[in-house]
Structure 1
Amino acid sequence: METARTERTQQWLAAHDLDTEGDPEEAARDLMPEILRDEELAPADKLELGLGLLEILDTYWATVELRWFVNAAQDEALPATFWQAIREHLEQPKASEAVLQSLWADWFEDITTVERAFTEVLAKDTAALGDAGDALLHRAAAVLKISGPVPWKLKYPIYTAALDVERLRPFVYFGVLYSFHDVYGSLEIAPALELLDRLDLPEDTEHLADLRTALQEGHANHHRR
């Protein structure tokens, strides 16, 4: 995904005799600190350039540095800008793997950030799912699939709302499945079984029979079975 941020970041890199050549992960480790410690940049400009570098490199380490920066921000405008950019990444036909990994492994697994993150990327748009266009449906599908670590009380209302959207039903199933299989997955057995029943999936759906059996036996998580 390229935006005006991409061009601005490329201009900043060129002005500082820096480039993104070589391994993207190593480039992110070298370049993100250069951006964030540039004293001539205001915090909002550092965020814009950091987001531009994420667009250029599409690598996980860029999301790590951005997360640290945003979590330390004193100005609420910075998280607002950050989350808008993340939503735009998720609304692409193929979401950034780096952004998905960051949400799943960092934001959603951290109890101090999961509620804000999940709200920003999906929960606050729950009421719009029924009339959603492609952009929101792309985002909802991406988030549902990686929502395993999100506390059940936060995601269950979204799972329920998404049942009414045919395109999202497979991703509700993935959400329940990974809620069971993720190390930090969060699941409540009775409502999870109810969701599976309401999804009305073909009996030969991959992993469905094993998942249903495990839940009926009283297991809420594969790793604590």
Structure 2
Amino acid sequence: METQAMREARRWLGDRGVAETADGWTDTAKPDRPLTANDIAHAWADEVFTDEDLDESAAVRMAFALLDLLDDYWVTCEIRFADGGPDGPLPAGPLWDGYRRRLEAERDAEPVEYSLWVDWFEDRTTTATAFAEVLGNDITTIVTTPTPPTLRRASRVLECSGPVPWDVKHATYTTAARLPALHEPLFKALRAGYHDIYGDLDPPAALTLLTHLTLPPDTEHLTQLRTVLSAGHRNHRHNPDAWAAAAH
């Protein structure tokens, strides 16, 4: 269902000659050339931040509305570029509220999750702030009074948090472990911390967390993860053969 924000984004694009028809997206400047959502994201997403009719907060909200409408990862790239650019940073309130709301929504959040993982979490200059804003700051509230939206957000953030430094995420992981509903995504978070090329974990502490998770005994990779952590391996890249050996 199209939201009010999506309708505003559609109008914003329409003012620039971009419209969606039964046959797909078109531009009045080149009506015979069909456009993809990715084409539009590359052509117009950055223009949101130079639109003189939008203040900074409104520009951030419009960018997220474009993301909702186009469902294209490149929109999140332009948000990140604007935050780190010469006119940045973007207002933190609408920026992180935009991420949290989409992580809590029922609709697929793949572009937002991917954005967190490869852009905000892999960058050591932004990972601590990003992780705190989308999960760390309110994990205690989520665990104490969980709701379907906040559980969705926590699960999604945990599963893409492999690159977050261990000292940044350890306390959040420990709190998350108090809620059985988060045990599976927390297991995936530990596994990602081991396998992601920029993944980070402390083997003894991660093993302690792992032993406190209630998981089906046939959980895929559970034995392997327990084995490599028990052996003190921090990341797959340091000893590529350890994981295969653990399978046997």
Alignment of 1:41-52 (within 5 A): 41-52=54-65
Query: The residue matched to 1:19 in structure 2 has which SS?
Result: strand
- Contact 1:149–1:185 (8 Å) recurs in 2: yes
Instruction: Flag the structure with higher strand content.
Output: 2
- The CA deviation string for residues 72-126 of structure 1, in whole angstroms up to 9 with x for no partner, is 4767772210110110000013441100000000000000000110011000002
Instruction: Flag the structure with higher helix content.
Output: 1
In the other structure, the counterpart of 2:116 is 103
Please give the alpha-carbon distance, in whole angstroms, between the structure 2 residues aligned to 1:121 and 1:95. Answer: 17
TM-score (norm 1): 0.92
Please give the alpha-carbon distance, in whole angstroms, between the structure 1 residues aligned to 2:86 and 2:98. Answer: 16
The Cα of 1:13 is off from its aligned counterpart by: 1.5
Residues 77 and 65 of structure 1: CA distance in aligned 2, closer, same or farther (over 3 Å) = closer
Query: The residue matched to 2:58 in structure 1 has which SS?
Result: helix
The one of 202, 206, 216 aligned to 1:202: 216
Residues 187 and 2 of structure 1: CA distance in aligned 2, closer, same or farther (over 3 Å) = farther
The one of 137, 142, 152 aligned to 2:166: 152
TM-score (norm 2): 0.84
Q: Which moved more, 1:185-194 or 1:27-36?
A: 27-36
Q: Which moved more, 1:191-200 or 1:69-78?
A: 69-78
Query: Which amino acid in the other structure matches residue 18 of structure 1?
Result: V
The Cα of 1:154 is off from its aligned counterpart by: 1.4
Query: The residue matched to 2:226 in structure 1 has which SS?
Result: helix
Residues 17 and 94 of structure 1: CA distance in aligned 2, closer, same or farther (over 3 Å) = closer
Residues 130 and 136 of structure 1: CA distance in aligned 2, closer, same or farther (over 3 Å) = same
- Contact 1:108–1:118 (8 Å) recurs in 2: yes
Residues 99 and 145 of structure 1: CA distance in aligned 2, closer, same or farther (over 3 Å) = same
- Contact 2:82–2:89 (8 Å) recurs in 1: no
Please say which structure displays the higher CA radius of gyration: 2
Q: Which moved more, 1:120-129 or 1:199-208?
A: 199-208
Please give the alpha-carbon distance, in whole angstroms, between the structure 2 residues aligned to 1:102 and 1:113. Answer: 12
- Contact 1:70–1:79 (8 Å) recurs in 2: no
- Contact 2:180–2:213 (8 Å) recurs in 1: no
In the other structure, the counterpart of 2:43 is 30
Aligned-residue identity in percent: 36
Please give the alpha-carbon distance, in whole angstroms, between the structure 2 residues aligned to 1:18 and 1:82. Answer: 25
Residues 132 and 76 of structure 1: CA distance in aligned 2, closer, same or farther (over 3 Å) = farther
Gaps of 5+ in 2: 26-34, 240-248
Residues 100 and 45 of structure 1: CA distance in aligned 2, closer, same or farther (over 3 Å) = same
- Contact 2:134–2:157 (8 Å) recurs in 1: yes
Q: Which moved more, 1:155-164 or 1:111-120?
A: 155-164
Query: The residue matched to 2:18 in structure 1 has which SS?
Result: coil
Gaps of 5+ in 1: none
Q: Which moved more, 1:76-85 or 1:60-69?
A: 76-85
In the other structure, the counterpart of 1:10 is 10
Larger RCO, structures 1/2 (Cα 8 Å, 6+ apart) = 1
In the other structure, the counterpart of 1:58 is 71
Please give the alpha-carbon distance, in whole angstroms, between the structure 2 residues aligned to 1:26 and 1:77. Answer: 24
Please give the alpha-carbon distance, in whole angstroms, between the structure 2 residues aligned to 1:11 and 1:73. Answer: 28
Query: Which amino acid in the other structure matches residue 188 of structure 1?
Result: D
Please give the alpha-carbon distance, in whole angstroms, between the structure 2 residues aligned to 1:83 and 1:63. Answer: 12
In the other structure, the counterpart of 2:98 is 85
